[in-house]
Structure 1
Amino acid sequence: MIITEIFLIAMTLIFTIPYLIWRIGKTEYYAPLVVVQIITGILLGPGVLGTVFPNYYGFVFTPSVIQLLNGIAWWAVMLFVWIAGIELDLRKAWQHRRESIVTAGLALGTPLVFGSIAATGLLMFDGWIGQNAMSWQFIMGVGMACAVTALPILILFMEKLEILRLPIGQRILRYASLDDVVIWGILALILMDWERVGRQVGFLLGYTVIGYIFRKLMVRLPERDRWYVGLIWLAGCGFGADYSGLHFMVGAFLAGAIMDGDWFDQKQMDFLRFHVLLVMMPVFFLSTGLRTNWALGGATVSMAAGVLLAASISGKLLGTHIAGRILNWEPGEGSLIGWLLQTKALIMIIFVNVLLDNGIITSETFTALLLMAIASTMMTIPIVSPKLARMDSIIFRSK
């Protein structure tokens, strides 16, 4: 068979299998379609399909097909991160800065510490730290992966729970938005290449100067032209960041973060996010699944995932509990917010893909972190739903 036919077989699998699992299995309550797509990506990877049906796996996922899929996946995830950057709104966080900084700082910092302790434990064994990593980069990278909140998935979950536009939903968006900025800043720090530091500083200086000109240009353009110019800006920032050694995902986030959400019609932005998730991101999930590795053994990788999950959940809940004590929240409020901020999925998966690309972690560590992200995300709605039913007074309080 020619490569186009094999490529289309792969695309058929990518879209068919997760849809059937989601629709026939009625998984929406605990595993929305996006989570099922991530799990399916793992199942179609070398650790499952490649082990059970090695000949079929080798026939469909040839190096040429994987290369084609990776190209689509790179652009898809760049678009997704760019949209997340555009929708980042720090003005409301500034209006409630004490509450937002205390909560966001503790909700990020505590699981970061717990995850870093878990990462230090992994360093005692072979097979977890990447070939290009120094110990501090590995510890900081794994620790931050345990602390990440996936803002786009959090929005989807809060829409499902019907709290996104309520005061509690807006509060949680403020906390997650602040954490998003720190996450990408820490990633840029981890990726700093002292042999190319001049190039990286040059990129950041150029980004600042050209970004100022870009903003002046965008406010003068009609909205239709802003979409085109914004995509050109995205590709340019991605190239500049990757060429300097900061990775194209950092560039994609910076490209969106400098843009204002009110430059665009919100409905059109929502449609774009929805269609990127629908049409392109499943390819990224499959591409991610193809990178999983069980060479250390399924039990070992699963055990590591369990340790990281415990560090992530306990750190997040302890952080929001401490924030609640400082800010005089009602009993149970810290737990509710902590579980919602525990949502990981997409952003964390993007984060650890970058770590893997740069040799900070191995594919075994990547697999353990991926399992941790899936588990923590699937736990969110079943745990949060009954809590919301008992907390009407908290839901409508603005701070």
Structure 2
Amino acid sequence: LAMLQVAERGTAALHGWTGLEVLAIALLVGLAVAGNWASRHFRNPPSAVIWIAVPIYLAAGSWASMQLGLHELIGAYFAGAIMPPSWVRRLPVEKVGTFSLIWLAPMFFGHSGLNIDGDALTWPSVIASLSLVAISIVTKILAVYIYPPASGLSRRQALSVGVLLQCKGLMEIVAATIFHAQGMISEFAFASLMVLAVISTVLTGPMFKLVAPRSSTAP
């Protein structure tokens, strides 16, 4: 996503730089160096240190990417990726994920949905979304069915993997939101992608139940 944003801006991204852009790059490098050092020499700090470091890393990464003309989420992803793995393993990832999914994700999705231009949500965009859904489902399932990711999978297991692969609601909405905020996709394309994300995610559960291997019961 970052490379696409830089490529879209072209050589204009290198002109008009101020001290803030240089500071942003230095900050990202500093975060990476600090994470690498902590992975080697400070593997088991007190829990309080980890909880303090997490928001600092995320906020610093977001600010740095924003100063470089990239979306804030790009910097947050980068900051999370360079945190010491031994620190991250001590965090209650499942509890944090559940809290984020229930309380934070709906606000993000709602905010993204409100950015849809009502004039762009027309029958052509809905038809385009439905066509993309059909193409996505067929290609993902067919590819996994023809070339299973692991040997020994039954037909139903291969179909189940293909169905799960086409569930891309979260990351598609994130990517579409980033591109839309940067002006890289039109209002029509943004509306179509958002509808595609919702439909493909909603269909995943019923489709998986339809093709999932039947559990065998003992006689």
User: What TM-score results when the alignment is normalised by the length of structure 1?
Assistant: 0.46
Corresponding residue for 1:152? none
Letter aligned with residue 210 of structure 1: L
Which of 277, 283, 298 in structure 1 is aligned with 2:122? 298
User: In 2, are the aligned partners of 1:237 and 1:252 still within 8 Å (CA)?
Assistant: yes
1:277 positional shift: 2.5
**Is residue 253 from structure 1 mapped to residue 77 from structure 2 by the alignment?**
yes
Aligned to 1:359, what secondary structure does the other structure show?
coil
1:211 aligns with 2:28: no
Deviations 1:162-190 (A, max 9, x none): xxxxxxxxxxxxxxxxxxxxxxxxx1221
Find the counterpart in structure 1 of residue 2 from structure 2: 188
Q: 3-state DSSP class of the match of 2:148?
A: helix
RMSD over aligned Cα atoms: 2.9
Deviations 1:204-231 (Å, cap 9, x if unpaired)? 6753453122342363531221111121
Partner of 2:180: 356
Task: Give the AA of the match of 2:195.
Answer: L
Hey, what's the Cα distance between the residues in 1 that align with 2:191 and 2:33? 40
Q: Which moved more, 1:319-328 or 1:254-263?
A: 319-328
How has the CA–CA distance of structure 1 residues 219 and 366 changed in structure 2, closer, same or farther, with 3 Å as cutoff?
same
With over 3 angstroms needed to count, the CA separation of the structure-2 counterparts of 1:332 and 1:220, relative to structure 1, is: closer
Aligned residue for 1:283? 107
| Whole-angstrom CA distance in 1 between matches of 2:58 and 2:161 | 33
Equivalent pairs: percent with the same residue? 24
C-alpha contact 2:113 2:194 (8 A) present in aligned 1:
no
Q: 1:279 to 1:296 in 2, by over 3 A?
A: closer
Q: 1:206 to 1:311 in 2, by over 3 A?
A: farther
Please tell me the residue identity of whatever aligns with 1:213: A
Q: Distance in 1 between matches of 2:87 and 2:167?
A: 28
Deviations 1:246-298 (A, max 9, x none): 22111111111122554246672222222223333322222112111231452
One-letter code of the match for 1:190?
Answer: L
Q: What is the TM-score normalised by the length of structure 2? A: 0.80
| Alpha-carbon distance in structure 1 between the residues aligned to 2:141 and 2:149 | 12
Please say if 1:331 is aligned against 2:155: yes
Partner AA of 2:133 in structure 1: L
1:273 to 88, 97, 107: 97
Give 2:60's aligned residue. Answer: 236
Q: Evaluate the alpha carbon distance shift between residue 391 and residue 212 of structure 1 in structure 2; reply closer, same or farther with a 3 A threshold.
A: farther
Amino acid at match of 1:188: A
**Higher-RCO chain (CA-CA 8 Å, sequence separation at least 6):** 1
Asked if the contact 1:324/1:333 (under 8 Å) is kept, the reply is no
CA separation in 2, counterparts of 1:249 and 1:372?
21
2:131 aligned with 1:307: yes
Deviation at 1:319, TM superposition (A): 2.6
CA positional deviation for 1:197: 4.6
Match of 1:381 in 2: 205
- 1:91-128 CA-partner distances (Å, limit 9, x unpaired): xxxxxxxxxxxxxxxxxxxxxxxxxxxxxxxxxxxxxx
